[in-house]
Every structure is written in structure tokens, then in C-alpha cells.
Amino acid sequence: EAGVTQFPSHSVIEKGQTVTLRCDPISGHDNLYWYRRVMGKEIKFLLHFVKESKQDESGMPNNRFLAERTGGTYSTLKVQPAELEDSGVYFCASSLLADPPTEQFFGPGTRLTVL
Amino acid sequence: QQPVQSPQAVILREGEDAVINCSSSKALYSVHWYRQKHGEAPVFLMILLKGGEQKGHEKISASFNEKKQQSSLYLTASQLSYSGTYFCGTERKTSGTYKYIFGTGTRLKVLA
């Protein structure tokens, strides 16, 4: 069974440019999460999709970040325009929709560097 | 409202034990523990759902206290492979929805 995949693995862009990150969750996982880890710091929650709906987007830094999950399958996270402080590793995770909750499976991450 | 982990960092010799704590100011619905090695994705260790619950896998175990505001991860007879950053992931159920937040992280280094 394929795990969570993310594309690209690395992205280097200049300040002001646009970048789109993609996440393909495990098939059948309705929960999809985006996180960011800045070097040496904690994993920060960005948002949570249940199927195609945004369940919680309280962690999104500002309106330069736009996440979508059309059709409830893969998700994209667009940063436009990118700023220096957006650099970090962006992780996507997915899990089954269940109560009580089950484990989240993480993708390998996309390392974003904004110059 | 981010859960606080302690210690922030710890260095062990192979074979030594360690305890990592995760504390929340509010009652939690569940606690997940993950380990992340440098440059890799976080890997799930275990989930605790009930106050008073304890779980273990090989030499790593965890507890979730009765008041459901604190969890501890116990690493026994540590191995080199235990090195990494440990995160607790906590869930609070508010108005029927789950809010998921990671703790501040604990960096663990095991030396030979």
C-alpha cells in the first residue's frame, strides 16, 4: 500500500514568487493535515481537511497561504507571494475518519527555501 | 495553548533510561507520540485515549494521567536508534470537532 506522498521534495524560490506544494494521502483517508516545521522548532499545525471541507484552518499564518482539496483526494498548498519566513519543511499527514481518532501517517515533507 | 514538553533536550548513554513529559493546560481527548529523525517524516509511536491508560511497545511505553492533562513517554535501555526529536500530538474535542496540536518537542541524543 502506498504511503502519503508529497511533491516536490525540495523547492527553492525567491521572495515574492509563488510555490505550490502537493500532497497525495493514503487512499481512503478522509482526514488530511498540513503542518510546517521550521528548523529546530516545533511542528506547527496549519490546517485540517475532512474530505474536501476545511475542518480547521486556524493554523494558517495569513492569506498568502491557500489550501485546497478538490474532490477530497489530493491537496495543494499554495504560497503566494512567498516571504523569507515561509521557509521550512511542510509535512502532510492523513488518517482514517474515525472516533476515537487513529494514527496520522506522515509524508516525507517538502523542504521549502525562500531566498 | 500548545502542550509543553520537558525536557527540551536530553543526552543519554546507550542503555540509559529517559522520561519525556507532555503537559497541557486543558484536558485532552487523546495523546499521540511521534519520533522524528533529522530529515525524515515523523513516525507514529503510540496513541493513548483514556485517562489512566498505559501502553508499551518493546522498550518504549507511555502513560496518560487520569486528569488527561499530562502524558509521559518512557524510554528504557535506550538504543542508538532512539535518537531524534520526540513530539506529543494532542487532541482536544471542542463542540464536536477535534483540534490537533503538537507539543514543543524534545530532542534526544543517544551516545555509544
pLDDT value at B55 more than 80: no
Residues in B lying within 8 Å of A, measured between beta carbons = 2, 29-30, 32, 34, 36, 40-44, 47, 49, 87, 89, 91, 97-105
Domain of residue A84 covers 5-95
> Would you state the pLDDT for residue A1?
62
Q: What is the pLDDT of residue A101?
A: 74
In a domain, A21, yes or no: yes
Residue B41 has its nearest CB partner, among A48, A56, A91, at A91
Q: Give the model's pLDDT for residue B100.
A: 81
Q: pLDDT of A27-44, one tens digit each? A: 999 999 999 998 878 899
Q: How many domains does chain A have?
A: 1
Q: State mean pLDDT over B18-25.
A: 93
Query: Is the CB of residue B33 less than 8 Å from the CB of residue B89?
Result: yes
Residue B78's SS3 state is: coil
Residue of B100, B104, B106, B107 to mutate, interface with A, max A Cβ within 10 Å:
B100
Q: Per the CATH hierarchy, to which homologous superfamily does domain B4-107 belong?
A: Immunoglobulins (2.60.40.10)
Task: Look up the CATH number of the domain holding residue A88.
Answer: 2.60.40.10
Residue A100 near chain B (CB below 8 Å): yes
CB-based contacts of B62-65 (< 8 A; 24+ apart in sequence): B62/B31, B62/B33, B64/B28, B64/B31
The answer to whether A102 and A1 are in contact (CB under 8 A) is: no
Residues B29, A102: C-beta atoms closer than 8 Å = no
Q: 3-state SS string over chain A?
A: CCCCEEECCEEEECCCCCEEEEEECCCCCCEEEEEEECCCCCEEEEEEEECCEEEECCCCCCCCEEEECHHHCCEEEEECCCCHHHCEEEEEEEECCCCCCCCCEECCCEEEEEC
Q: What percent of chain A has pLDDT over 70?
A: 99
Whether A81 is in a domain gets the answer yes
CB neighbours of B82 closer than 8 A, spacing ≥ 6? B12, B35, B60, B75, B108, B110
Any idea what DSSP says for residue B73?
E
Q: Is A98 on the interface with B (CB under 8 A)?
A: no
Phi and psi, residue A47, nearest 5°: -160, 170
pLDDT at position A42, please? 85
